[in-house]
Amino acid sequence: MPKAKGPEPLSSDMLCFWRCEQDFDFKSTAELSEAKSWLGQDRAVDTIRMAAQIGHNDFNAFVLGNAGSGRQKIVRSILDNAAAVKTQPDDWVYVNNFEQPHMPTAMKLPAGMAKKLKSTIETLIDELANDIPALFESEEYQTRRRTIEQSFSTAHEQAMSKIFEKARSNGLGILRGPMGFTVTGMKDGEVLKQDEFEALDEEEQHQIETAIEDIQKALSEVLKSVPASEKDRRRQVEDLNYSMTTAGVDQAIGSAQNALLNQEHIKEYLAAVRRDVIENAELFLIQDEGAEIGAFPVATTKHYAKPQFQRYRVNVMVSHETGGADGAPVVQEDLPTLANLIGRIDFSSEMGTLVTDFTKIKPGSLHRANGGFLVLKARDVLTEPLAWDALKRSLRTEEVSIYSPADRLSLTSTLSLKPDPIPLEVRVILIGERMHYYLLAALDPEFNRLFKLEADFNDHIDIEEATVSAYASLLGSLAHSQGIRALTAAAVARVFVESTRMTGDTERLSLNVDELSDVLREADFWAGQDERDDIDAADVERALSERERRASRVRELSQQSIARGTILIDTDGTRVGQINALSVLQIGDYRFGKPSRLTARTRMGSGKLIDIEREADLGGPLHSKGMLILQGFLAATYATNAPMSLWASLVFEQSYGGVDGDSASAAELIAVLSSLADVSLDQSFAITGSINQFGEVQAIGGVNEKIEGFFDICNARGLTGRQGVLIPTANVKHLALRKRVVDAVERDEFRIIPMTTVFDGIETLTGMSCGKRGKTGTFPKANFNRRVEDQLMHFADLRKSFAKSAKAEGGDNESE
């Protein structure tokens, strides 16, 4: 039987990238200059800069990439620089709409003017609260008021005096009672009694009655004129009040206008305030309960806080400091609820009733970011009810309208406010995962119109001569920014190895600065424990091993089950139709490799290959795809001139969960071929890799974890020097193995063998040559492939003879 040479194992130098600190021209990162740019993110940075500088409103940006790439820090840095050179935006306030109080008026003011307007109006109200009562208690007002009162009082008294005199001259008297005035006859200064009146002759009675009627008529005329006279008196008093108030208010308003630089729209608002103050001057005459009453009210600096003056307050929505640095705002909203985005209207309870007014309007982040930039996390906006819809509406209409969820869903009939919408000019930067971007682009027709720019952050950077030194500077800058020790060259080399492991590719370095920072900070802790001045490779190694130790409880339980024989895994000897396949399990952020026993049984059949995992509804679609590819390879490679007369079953032994992925398809094929050829497979090896229909072994994921998982089992049982793992040749560039595995390979105690085709694996596991078809179209005798094909041909012959026998038996039955 011809022996197979098989592929050569990999040397230890090929298992771990960048093992020597001599590859660097520095001793410590303290010698390196700080990283000057964001390494590997040029495309995304240029996009964000364009979003920050372009003038069109709908060029908002979506920053996509994996968490930890430094997206938020980079976005904030670029926006801060862009905002510093922009013009400072206007202030915005809400003021009372005196004609329609339920529709507060939004007022735009020059930067820094909002607080000044608020302060000026408060001062104005304070002054008027002192001045107006003083005007009404002044000697001039009192004199003019008394003149009006006396004038009307004198006229009324004169009219009444004439009537009283006329009554006396006619021998009559006028009596005032609870029911008004009564006219009666008089005799000797006494009221004429009824019996005395009746004792008079008829002519005298008639004269008295006629005189009483005349006096009553005159008295009625005078009394009827009293309301009109009172109305005229009130009009004159009101005119007096108006003229006195107007003089005081005009003087105060003029001072306020001068203080506010005579802005046109401010002048319009002050004119409305003037009209309302004059019309409601009585509001300024309300005395506080318990306040001293004297010639003048007690001065106070907080008159504007009184409830009756709330109508004159200024509700500052957005204000910018004057005299400070110019620039636009950069707002990052971490809780983008509907209210936090577009603002809200608060209510207060008064006697069991909800009430509100324009002073209870609160700004949202869109108000604060107006004229500048707003940074949001896509997941947060999308998970908050109505927030995404409100954000799109604001960007589409270019204005911020304040409403509540109850208003939006028509859940309440409570009378509320309808404030003026505020014009919006803002650049929104959404930060999210790639999944968020592609789902929004596919499902939301408005998304691409509102967010025209995508800033896609790289997860890695290719290793080139220029990037190596830049990456080392990046690590130094991370250490400096975190306030931890500098890294030695050896530590940098060790971090490079871990960085390639993060990417799963020795030709690329990870740009996950958050995870790199975590490693450096843990390494700094261990360096401190050992009282080192710098972080060394041993500290990085300790940090990585401790991270793995913290998360490895489940891995250890799995390995203990194998070590105790609960889960059957062979690491020596040979078996027919049995092979060690490798898989990766992930719990949280921790991944580890786990070997599984894969077995195959074959016999004559109708060409059916049974995947027990799929039949039990435990196999996923990718695993099923791998099985179908396996069938295609078998049918096209062996016994092509005969029908496929094979029945085979495959199963992952002691697997009680789902199985998916095609990384075990090479192992499954070799197990089936071993059963067909009746050739034992070396159990000292585990294998991983997917195959195509030509038998080529393709790259798979998690190769480092898979190798380490099988190594740990072999190491626990004792390394023999024969054990190893077969991997796809395409995965060699992905190797960044832990030191324990590299050291074992260096001592020739463990082997890692690359496979280009499935035949490389067969030759390694069986020691037999597979052989190639000769000119006659057959495989050489005594080779592995010949044994497989001979068995398949034998199955075909058995099936053919069985069919003939069955037919013959059927014919005899018919003749009988």
- The residues assigned a catalytic role are 663, 706
d(CA 126, CA 255): 13
Contacting residues for 510 by C-beta, under 8 A, at least 6 apart: 459, 460, 499, 500, 502, 503, 516
Token couple for 139? 């000697």
CA distance 398 to 421: 10
- In angstroms, the CA 643 to CA 92 distance is 84
- Taking the C-alpha atoms of residue 105 and residue 594, their distance in angstroms, rounded to an integer, is 68
Burial (CB count within 10 angstroms: exposed 0-12, middle 13-18, buried 19+), residue 547: middle
Q: Is the torsion defined by CA of 574, 577, 579, 585 positive or negative?
A: negative
As a whole number of angstroms, the distance between CA 669 and CA 765 comes to: 13
Distance CA 785, CA 111 (A): 85
Q: How far apart are the first and last CA of the chain?
A: 53
- Please state whether beta strands 180-187 and 348-350 pair in parallel, antiparallel, or not at all (unpaired): unpaired
Q: 734 near 536, Cβ under 8 Å? A: no
Residues 197, 361: Cα–Cα separation, whole Å:
78
Token pair of 342, please?
A: 């577009």
Rounded Cα distance between 774 and 110, Å, is: 91
The answer for residues whose C-beta is within 8 angstroms of residue 399's C-beta and 6 or more apart is 421, 422, 423, 424
For 481, list phi and psi in degrees, rounded to 5.
-65, -30
Cross-strand partners of 138: none
Question: What tokens were used for 767?
Answer: 């020691």
> Given its phi and psi angles, is residue 721 left (phi above 0), alpha (psi -120 to 50 degrees) or beta?
left
| β-bridge mates for residue 726, sequence order | 687, 753
Amino acid, single-letter form, for residue 170: N
311 neighbors 275 (Cβ within 8 angstroms): no
Cα–Cα distance, 457 to 671 (Å, whole number): 43
Give the whole-angstrom CA distance, residue 744 versus residue 330: 55
| Residue 809, C-beta contacts closer than 8 angstroms, at least 6 positions apart | none
Q: How far apart are CA 739 and CA 708, in angstroms?
A: 10
Distance between CA atoms of residues 799 and 676, nearest Å: 16
- CA pair distance 212, 298, nearest whole angstrom: 56
DSSP 393-433: HHHHHTEE----HHHHHT--------PPPEE---EEEEEE-
Q: Taking a C-beta distance cutoff of 8 angstroms, is the pair 578, 682 a contact? A: no
Find the helix or strand (DSSP H, E) in which 698 lies: strand 697-698
> Can you spell out the DSSP letters for 608-634?
EEEEHHHHTT-B-HHHHHHHHHHHHHH
Sign of CA dihedral 143, 144, 145, 148: positive
Instruction: Tell me the three state secondary structure of residue 493.
Output: helix
DSSP 204-250: HHHHHHHHHHHHHHHHHHHHHHHHHHHHHHHHHHHHHHHHHHHHHHH
Whether 771 contacts 779, CB under 8 Å = yes
Tokens of 54: 């372009």
Buried b or exposed e, range 48-82, using 16+ CB within 10 angstroms = bbebbeeeeeebbbbbbbbebbbbbebbeebbeeb
